[in-house]
């Protein structure tokens, strides 16, 4: 199998699985238990928290474990709106956010909020000025993702954070940084809420984290109960998943520069080989090194994904969360119909090789040469 869908999920390294197995079979105590076996696990959870915080470059006390990125996005938006309920009920976000943000915004609209959805240009780009111009005196929250999961576009979150300090210092800023984990410093970004997820970097599914910065005073708890996660997200800690997240974070931190150089080289090779195929065009700015969006204009993306899949080559037609439905991200670009219909995403990881790129390019060329265009 040739796996080119790391943006959907990444394979779990043996070291991560081993860390989880140890906790599942040997160190399985409940961190809330008072006896030494439980107290040991409570200490280890805090050690693991520091390991993940080190990858984010944020204070460990501000990092709270969640079940996934979706949970973190929903928690952040609702906490920001709650804190600023006396400021106003206006939210600014983009039309190309992950569904976890957009669907939460729709629910908040039903509850009385007003949401401004900013459209990107045809490359999927947005400027900090566009975002700041939409901010009003009654803007409770701004939510702009760090890296678009379909296009690889990197958004100017740090510039937005700096601009908000002058535009409306009460407005809280959230960024869905799930696709950028391991590439940024939360301190440098300056966002009040930063969402991440373990399975994008080789950790297990079922665990993520939300960094809550100091401007988010007394954030509204996500779950009420036994008071875990400093009273903000009650529920018995998923210790095995957290252990796996921490080990994956350690591996990414150790290999960060090597991985980045590897991904940048792969991105350049993939762009060269794919754009050599007739009718293939690049989609979006593609500034993140691990995500490349292209279109075989006129050939429907679903057919391409199925054809390559039958050959053991895994690419996607957009976010895995779409489940075959049209992508709101591609729609927001307002591309020509033939181009929009053929958009596929390739995404790379530490285990991707140039041979994988070659095989994919050859399969795409065969698809183009042997299948009739339908548009």
Q: How many residues appear in the chain?
A: 375
Q: Alpha-carbon distance 179 to 202, whole Å?
A: 12
* β-bridge mates for residue 292, sequence order: 346
The answer to whether residue 321 is catalytic is yes
Q: Which residue has the tokens 């065969």?
A: 366
Q: Alpha-carbon distance 90 to 74, whole Å?
A: 16
Q: Alpha-carbon distance 186 to 213, whole Å?
A: 9
Tokens of 295: 């279109």
Q: Alpha-carbon distance 289 to 287, whole Å?
A: 6
The 193-197 sheet, strands edge to edge: 63-66, 208-212, 193-197, 172-176, 139-143, 90-94, 114-118
Q: Alpha-carbon distance 237 to 32, whole Å?
A: 9
Give the Å distances, CA to CA, from 276 to 3, 211, 285, 296: 21, 42, 18, 11
Return left, alpha or beta for 202; rule: phi > 0 is left, psi -120 to 50 is alpha, else beta. left
Q: Alpha-carbon distance 315 to 364, whole Å?
A: 11
Closest CA to 129 of 171, 151, 93, 159: 159
Asked whether the beta carbons of 318 and 327 are under 8 A apart, the reply is yes
Instruction: Out of 58, 104, 321, 360, pick the active-site residue.
Output: 321
**Angle in degrees, CA 202, 203, 206, rounded to 5:** 135
Closest CA to 176 of 248, 105, 115: 105
Give the Å distances, CA to CA, from 359 to 228, 251, 339, 375: 48, 28, 23, 26
Catalytically active residues are: 321
């Amino acid at each position: 199998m040739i796996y080119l869908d790391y943006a959907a999920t990444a394979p779990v390294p043996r070291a991560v699985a081993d860390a989880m197995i140890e906790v599942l079979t040997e160190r399985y105590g409940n961190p809330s238990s008072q006896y030494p076996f439980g107290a040991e696990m409570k200490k280890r959870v805090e050690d693991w928290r520091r390991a993940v915080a080190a990858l984010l470059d944020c204070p460990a006390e501000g990092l709270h474990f969640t079940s996934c990125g979706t949970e973190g996005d929903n928690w952040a938006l609702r906490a920001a709106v709650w804190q600023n309920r006396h400021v106003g009920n206006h939210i600014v976000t983009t039309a190309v956010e992950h569904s976890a943000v957009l669907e939460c915004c729709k629910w908040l609209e039903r509850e009385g909020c007003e949401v401004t959805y900013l459209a990107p240009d045809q490359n999927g780009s947005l400027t900090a000025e566009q975002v700041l111009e939409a901010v009003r005196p009654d803007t409770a929250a701004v939510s702009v993702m760090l890296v678009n999961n379909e296009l690889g576009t990197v958004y100017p979150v740090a510039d937005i954070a700096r601009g908000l300090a002058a535009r409306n210092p009460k407005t809280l800023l959230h960024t869905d940084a799930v696709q950028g984990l391991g590439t940024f410093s939360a301190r440098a970004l300056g966002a009040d809420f930063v969402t991440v997820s373990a399975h994008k970097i080789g950790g297990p599914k079922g665990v993520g984290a939300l960094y809550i910065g100091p401007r988010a005073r007394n954030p509204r708890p996500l779950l009420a109960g036994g008071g875990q996660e400093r009273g903000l997200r009650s529920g018995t800690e998923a210790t095995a998943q957290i252990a796996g997240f921490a080990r994956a974070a350690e591996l990414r931190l150790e290999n960060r520069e090597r991985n980045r150089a590897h991904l940048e080289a792969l991105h350049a090779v993939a762009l060269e080989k794919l754009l050599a195929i007739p009718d293939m065009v690049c989609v979006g700015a593609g500034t993140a090194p691990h995500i490349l969006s292209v279109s075989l204009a006129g050939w429907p993306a679903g057919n391409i994904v199925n054809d390559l899949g039958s050959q053991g080559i895994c690419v996607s037609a957009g976010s895995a969360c779409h489940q075959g439905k049209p992508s709101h991200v591609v729609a927001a670009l307002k591309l020509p119909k033939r181009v929009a219909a053929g958009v596929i995403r390739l995404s790379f990881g530490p285990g991707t090789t140039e041979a994988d790129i070659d095989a994919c390019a050859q399969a795409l060329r065969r698809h183009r040469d042997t299948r009739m265009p339908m548009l």
